[in-house]
Amino acid sequence: MSEEKAKISIRANGSMRVEGATLIGADGAVISEKESFSLCRCGHSKDKPFCDGSHREAGFEDAGEHAPVE
């Protein structure tokens, strides 16, 4: 039996989609245990650390591409 790993996907011009993880705050309290949620990358969300779609209005642009890490 294999345990699935958490998955974080960077969306072009948008958020980071997190699946299969628990989000824990700096104080150690659980913020979210949802199966999936989106985190803000643009800094404009009014619901940080979660994405609220503000990146669209703010004109946030980032392809979300990165060289593979070995």
* pLDDT tens readout for residues 17-57: 999 999 999 999 999 999 999 999 999 999 999 999 999 99
Contacts of 48 (CB under 8 A, 6+ apart): 40
pTM of the full structure: 0.86
Distance in angstroms (rounded) separating the CA atoms of residues 7 and 46? 24
Looking at per-residue pLDDT, the higher value among 1 and 53 belongs to 53
Element (H, E) at 26: none
Q: Could you give the domains of the chain?
A: 7-58 (3.40.5)
Query: Residue 39 in contact with residue 15, Cβ under 8 Å?
Result: yes
Q: Quote the distance between the C-alpha of residue 48 and its chain's center.
A: 10
Tokens 């659980």, located at residue: 30
> What per-residue confidence (pLDDT) applies to 3?
72
